[in-house]
């Protein structure tokens, strides 16, 4: 079993650092790595290495790394460097506005002011730059250090080689080296703060977790940290308090606000034997609860974990940015060298200006914007979805759902509410306790229909005991009792009923020793919002499909009422898989279902969507989980995915367009190195800001495709 290790890592400045760490650990066969740039945290899940071995792997890349166990002191090193470099750079820039005899023009003073800034830049960027080169993945730090070192060395050499003091000022560009580093520090600072906003959803979810609980021990109520709670502990929760951990009510009743978990604003009434979710708020009442799980396996913990891991499977569109980023830095260095040579020899620009243009090319290029384009948008989109009770398990699901061409619905529990009622029971043999037999058989089944029948026939419990019982998924049950009687209960196909008049009115049939003894007619009602959500996808030019194991007549009636375009009835689990596979060959396909028999189909679709109250296997097979049962959450999920994918495309367009336009302008001398450093920092902020905008954007059914 994999163990999770959490590390505090100093020196993570940009998304290229993240890719470098992930790439290095992947070579060690560690694939599950999560990096939080804003907090400088790296989480690694592995069963192959100890925490110390993983720490050394990360440290080999040049990052100061320590295992994170308690709340660490906030790292303000970047802020310290920024303030110091600003104080040193302002006098350097001031020399541009005074006459040649002013003390600020003194070369010794300028070098004394610039050198500490350069050293801070080396300390902050050089280790990462060196190790990125060693791992054949040069990053932005390499470009910054080449540019600033070139400006510094040119100033020193020009000063040494100049023939008289009047000429010295023509060769001094100490302010260029210092200002570039200062502006990059400033950009990193704003980037760090901005990225923190893209991960605010995780912080908001973590704040829902109570720190303490009131536990009943030997008739006394004591306060304790929630980390001390164990399964079966008894808790007392009063009005106005949040539920500390997932529990079952054993006394009392209450009204609970579950909006922070499910996105459903209407309070929910809970009573004895019902479950309450950790992090939800008790609006009215007092309850005694029994703890159901440990802290690591609560619903809230699992949601936080899924939101945190959403970037682990990135959208396909990110691959374009990653491929270009791998070749970007070597290409920029080559362009800078060509810029210098062409300006100096072909265009006959003087040495000084040619060098400045080459430095501007190095500094203005921004691989970070391409790296940040996708993950920042994914984190904001996933966070916004979580606030609406929608759990998106991967970045890939965002792209695929937004681009899906076929939306395939299961019927029972998805488009209908899954609560069935017995309309009629037709009996051919009154010698058997039909209701009791059906109850005893169905209590062993997992299909949603079985749960409804058990609830409806609860008064007919009996002492009937089965020696063997088998459930055939999507068909029915067969059993043998202690007296040797054989039972079959299920669909017409399963029980071999071929009377069309009978099967048009009844859906389930009971046979005892091969004799048909009863038929059951059941009805279920359409789920609220079903018509609106199907209409939404039809308006988006998506093909809507009903794929169900139910009778053809019932499926066609529902499809007609909802205006679903294609219908497939009487589908067994294997039939559903084949239909999904055939669709997926030519179209991006999304399947929505909630039963055990839907799980394989959910897994074979490009995007599987299920509900939190669905069967565990369906939830695990789905790539998007709706935490409440309302179908309007499905429409909201599609709207959020569509807008998130649009934001990713906008970010990548800006990142590519910026570099395509900015690098030639710098090469032609239209941008000085200082302006280039400012625009480079600005480019990252545009991408991050556009992602943050997704958090406040008005998302509705008019969202673009």
3-state secondary structure 427-467: ECCCCCCHHHHHHHHHCCCCCHHHHHHHHHCHHHCCCCCEE
For residue 704, name the pLDDT band (cuts at 50, 70, 90): very low
Is 382-416+526-639 CATH 3.40.1170.10? no
pLDDT higher than threshold 50 for residue 215: yes
Do β-strands 543-547 and 421-427 pair in parallel, antiparallel, or remain unpaired? unpaired
Tell me the three state secondary structure of residue 40.
coil
At a CB cut-off of 8 Å and minimum separation 6, what does 360 contact? 666, 667, 669, 671, 672, 673, 675, 676
Structurally, what CATH architecture does the domain formed by 208-303 represent? Distorted Sandwich (2.70)
* Measured distance CA(599)–CA(602) in Å, rounded: 5
pLDDT of residue 102: 80
Find the mean pLDDT for residues 282-293.
Answer: 91
Q: How far apart are CA 332 and CA 367, in angstroms?
A: 10
Question: Which pLDDT tens digit goes with each residue over 535-571?
Answer: 999 999 999 999 988 778 788 888 999 999 999 988 8
- What pLDDT is recorded for position 343? 93
Beta-carbon contacts of 558 under 8 Å, excluding residues fewer than 6 positions away, are 411, 415, 416, 526, 546, 564
Least confident of 52-66, 69-83, 135-149, 355-369: 69-83
Contacts of 415 (CB under 8 A, 6+ apart): 409, 526, 527, 530, 534, 546, 558, 562, 631
Kind and range of the H or E run holding 471: strand 466-472
For 515-539, how does the pLDDT look when each residue is reduced to its tens digit (9 = 90+)? 999 999 887 778 888 999 999 999 9
Instruction: Indicate left, alpha or beta for 447 from its phi (over 0: left) and psi (-120 to 50: alpha).
Output: beta
pLDDT score at 503: 82
37, pLDDT greater than 80: no
pLDDT of 250 above 70: yes
The full DSSP string for 514-577 is TEEEEEEEEE--BPTTHHHHHHHHHHTTPEEEEE-SS-HHHHHHHHHHHT-SEEE-S--HHHHH
Q: 703 pLDDT band (50/70/90 cuts)?
A: very low
Q: Residue 525 has what pLDDT?
A: 78
Contact 107, 150 (CB under 8 A): no
Strand partners, 43: 6, 34
Give the closest residue to 672 by CA, choosing from 179, 54, 71. 179
Which secondary structure element, helix H or strand E, spans residue 397, and what is its range? helix 395-403
**Mean pLDDT lowest among 477-491, 565-579, 691-705:** 691-705
- Region of poorest pLDDT, from 243-257, 532-546, 586-600: 586-600
Which of 410, 524, 550, 594 is catalytic? The answer is 410
286 burial type by CB count under 10 A (0-12 exposed, 13-18 middle, 19+ buried) = middle
- Confirm whether 3-67 and 421-523 share one CATH topology: no
- Supply the DSSP string of 664-703, one letter for each residue: HHHHTTSS-HHHHHHHHHHHHHHHHHHHHHTTTS---TT-
- pLDDT score recorded for residue 423: 83
Kindly give, in sequence order, each residue whose CB lies less than 8 Å from that of residue 660, ignoring residues fewer than 6 positions away. Answer: none
Please indicate whether residue 498 is annotated as part of the active site: no
- d(Cα 372, Cα 353) in Å, to the nearest integer? 32
Which of 161-175, 347-361, 613-627 shows the lowest per-residue confidence on average (mean pLDDT)? 161-175
The pLDDT value given to residue 702:
46
When pLDDT is cut at 50, 70 and 90, the band that residue 497 belongs to is confident
Q: Can you tell me the mean pLDDT for 221-229?
A: 89
Q: Which CATH superfamily is domain 421-523 in?
A: Calcium-transporting ATPase, cytoplasmic domain N (3.40.1110.10)
* Residue 404 near residue 581 (C-beta atoms within 8 A): no
Spans of all domains in the chain? 3-67, 208-303, 382-416+526-639, 421-523
Q: Which residues contact residue 87 at a Cβ distance below 8 angstroms, ignoring those fewer than 6 apart?
A: none
Fold held by 3-67: Alpha-Beta Plaits (3.30.70)
Please list the alpha-helical segments (H only) found in 249-298. 259-262
């Amino acid at each position: 079993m994999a163990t999770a290790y959490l590390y505090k890592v100093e020196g993570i400045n940009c998304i290229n650092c993240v890719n470098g760490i992930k790439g290095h650990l992947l070579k060690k066969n560690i694939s599950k790595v999560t990096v939080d740039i804003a907090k400088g945290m790296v989480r690694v899940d592995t069963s192959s290495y100890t925490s110390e071995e993983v720490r050394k792997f990360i440290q080999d890349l040049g990052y100061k790394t320590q295992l994170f166990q308690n709340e660490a002191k906030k790292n303000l090193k970047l802020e310290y460097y920024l303030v110091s470099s600003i104080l040193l750079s302002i006098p350097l820039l001031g020399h541009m506005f005074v006459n040649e005899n002013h003390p600020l023009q003194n070369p010794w003073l300028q070098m004394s002011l610039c050198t500490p800034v350069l050293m801070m830049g080396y300390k902050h960027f050089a280790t990462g730059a060196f190790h990125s080169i060693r791992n054949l993945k040069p990053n932005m730090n390499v470009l910054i250090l080449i540019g600033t070192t070139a400006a510094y060395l040119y100033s020193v050499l020009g000063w040494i080689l100049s023939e008289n003091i009047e000429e010295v000022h023509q060769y001094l560009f100490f302010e260029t080296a210092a200002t570039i580093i200062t502006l990059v520090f400033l950009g990193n600072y704003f980037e760090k703060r901005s990225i923190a906003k893209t991960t605010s959803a995780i912080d908001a979810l973590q704040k829902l977790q109570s720190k303490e609980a009131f536990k009943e021990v030997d008739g006394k109520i004591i306060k304790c940290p929630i980390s001390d709670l164990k399964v079966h502990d008894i808790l007392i929760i009063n009005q106005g308090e949040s539920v500390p951990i997932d529990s079952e009510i054993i006394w009392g009743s209450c009204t609970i606000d579950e909006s922070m978990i499910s996105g459903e604003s209407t309070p929910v009434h809970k009573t004895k034997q019902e479950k309450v979710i950790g992090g939800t708020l008790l609006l009215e009442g007092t309850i005694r609860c029994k703890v159901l799980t440990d802290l690591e396996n609560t619903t809230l913990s699992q949601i936080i974990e899924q939101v945190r891991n959403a970037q682990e499977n990135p959208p396909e569109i990110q691959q374009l940015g990653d491929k270009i980023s791998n070749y970007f830095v070597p290409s920029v260095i080559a362009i800078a060298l060509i810029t210098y040579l062409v300006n100096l020899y072909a265009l006959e620009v003087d040495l000084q200006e040619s060098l400045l243009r080459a430095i501007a090319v190095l500094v203005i290029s921004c691989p970070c914007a391409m790296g940040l384009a996708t993950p920042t948008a994914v984190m904001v989109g996933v966070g916004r979805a979580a606030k609406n009770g929608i759990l998106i398990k991967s970045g890939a699901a965002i792209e695929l759902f937004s681009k899906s061409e076929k939306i395939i619905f299961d019927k029972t529990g998805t488009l209908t509410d899954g609560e069935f009622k017995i309309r009629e029971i037709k009996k051919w043999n009154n010698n058997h306790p039909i209701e009791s037999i059906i109850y005893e058989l169905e209590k062993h089944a997992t299909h949603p229909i079985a749960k409804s029948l058990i609830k409806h026939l609860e008064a007919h419990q009996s002492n009937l005991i089965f020696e063997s019982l088998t459930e055939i998924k999507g068909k029915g049950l067969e059993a043998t009792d202690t007296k040797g009687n054989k039972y079959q209960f299920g669909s017409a196909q399963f029980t071999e009923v071929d009377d069309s008049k009978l099967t048009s009115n009844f859906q389930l049939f009971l046979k005892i020793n091969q004799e048909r003894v009863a038929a059951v007619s059941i009805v279920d009602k359409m789920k609220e919002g079903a018509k609106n959500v199907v209409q939404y996808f039809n308006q988006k030019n998506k093909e809507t499909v009903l794929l169900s194991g139910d009778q053809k007549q019932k499926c066609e009636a529902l499809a007609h009422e909802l205006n679903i375009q294609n219908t497939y009835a009487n589908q067994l689990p294997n039939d559903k898989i084949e239909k999904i596979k055939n669709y997926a060959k030519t179209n991006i396909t999304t399947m929505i279902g909630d039963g055990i028999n839907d799980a394989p189909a959910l897994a074979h679709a490009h995007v599987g969507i299920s509900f939190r109250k669905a069967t565990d296997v369906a939830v695990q097979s789905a790539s998007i989980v709706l935490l409440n049962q309302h179908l309007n959450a499905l429409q909201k999920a599609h709207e959020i995915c569509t807008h998130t994918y649009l934001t990713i495309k906008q970010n990548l367009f800006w990142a590519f367009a910026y570099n395509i336009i900015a690098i030639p302008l710098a090469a032609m001398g239209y941008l000085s190195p200082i302006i280039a450093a400012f625009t480079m920092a600005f480019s990252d902020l545009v991408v991050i800001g556009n992602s943050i905008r997704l958090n406040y954007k008005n998302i509705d059914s008019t969202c673009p495709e």
